[in-house]
Structure 1
Amino acid sequence: MNIVFDLDGTLIDSAPDIQAVSEIILGQLGKEALTIEETRSFVGEGAKVLVSRMMAARGIEETPESHARIYGDFVAQYEYAVEKAVFYPGVVDALAVLKAAGHRMGLCTNKPELPARAVIRHMGLEPTFDAVVAAGMIDSRKPEPDMLLKAVEDMGGGATLYVGDSEIDAETARRADIPFALYTEGYRKSPIAAMPHDWSFDHFDRLQGIVIEAVARQTAAE
Structure 2
Amino acid sequence: MVSVIFDLDGTLIDSAPDIHAAVNRCFAGHGWPPFTLAQVHGFVGRGAPNLIARALESRGLPHDGPLFQSVLTEFLQDYETAHGMTQVYPGVIAALDALQARGARLGLCTNKPLAPTRSVLARTGLARFFPVVIGGDSLAVRKPDPAPLLKAQIMLGGGPALFVGDSEVDAETARHARLPFLLYTEGYRRSPVDTLAPIAAFDDYAQLPGLIRQLDDATAP
Answering whether residue 102 of structure 2 is matched by residue 83 of structure 1, we say no
- Tell me whether 175-184 or 23-32 shows the greater mean CA deviation: 23-32
How far apart are 1:216 and its partner, in Å? 1.6
Query: Is residue 2:31 matched to residue 1:24?
Result: no
Deviation at 1:22, TM superposition (A): 1.2
Task: Tell me, yes or no, if structure 1 residue 194 matches structure 2 residue 203.
Answer: no
Aligned pair count?
Answer: 220
Structure 1: distance between partners of 2:36 and 2:151: 34
Give the counterpart letter for 1:134 in structure 2: G
What residue in structure 2 maps to residue 179 of structure 1?
A: 180
Tell me the TM-score normalised to structure 1 length. Answer: 0.96
| DSSP-derived class of the 2:38 partner | helix
- Preserved contact between residue 174 and residue 196 of structure 1 (Cα < 8 Å): no
Q: How is 1:44-63 mapped onto 2 (pairs within 5 angstroms)?
A: 44-63=45-64
Amino acid at match of 1:54: A
Mind listing any 5+ residue stretches in structure 2 that lack a counterpart?
none
Q: Which residue of 1 aligns with 2:210?
A: 209
Corresponding residue SS for 1:39: helix
| Distance apart, 1:217 and its partner CA | 2.1
Unaligned runs of 5+ in 1: none
Distance in 1 of aligned mates of 2:137 and 2:74: 17
Tell me which amino acid in the other structure corresponds to 1:155: L
> Which amino acid counterpart does residue 5 of structure 2 have in structure 1?
V
Secondary structure of the residue aligned to 2:135 is strand
| Partner-residue secondary structure (3-state), 1:49 | helix
- After TM superposition, give the deviation of residue 137 of structure 1 in Å: 1.0
Q: CA deviation at 1:46?
A: 0.2
Q: Which amino acid aligns with 1:71?
A: L
On the 8 A contact 1:161/1:214 being kept in 2, the answer is no
C-alpha distance after superposition, 1:155-210 (max 9, x if no partner):
11111111000011001111111111001111111111111211111111110111
- For 2:138 and 2:64, the matched residues in 1 are separated by 25
Map 1:66-77 → 2, pairs under 5 A = 66-77=67-78
User: What is the one-letter code of the residue matched to 1:62?
Assistant: H
Structural RMSD (CA): 1.1
1:53-79 deviation line (CA, Å, top 9, x unaligned): 111223323341111010010001110
Matches within 5 A, 1:1-222: 1-219=2-220, 222=221
CA distance in 2, matches of 1:82, 1:58: 25
For residues 211 and 136 of structure 1, the distance between their equivalents in structure 2, rounded to whole angstroms, comes to 29
**Aligned letter for 1:157?**
G
In 2, the alpha carbon distance for the partners of 1:62 and 1:100 equals 46
Provide the rounded CA distance (Å) in 2 between the counterparts of 1:32 and 1:97: 45
Does the CA contact (< 8 Å) of 1:107 and 1:132 recur in 2? yes
Deviates more, 1:173-182 or 1:50-59: 50-59
- 8 Å Cα contact 2:11-2:164 kept in structure 1: yes
State the shift of 1:135 in Å: 1.1
TM-score when normalising by structure 2: 0.96
For 2:162 and 2:20, the matched residues in 1 are separated by 31
Amino acid aligned to 2:109: C
**Runs of 4+ with deviation above 6 angstroms:** none
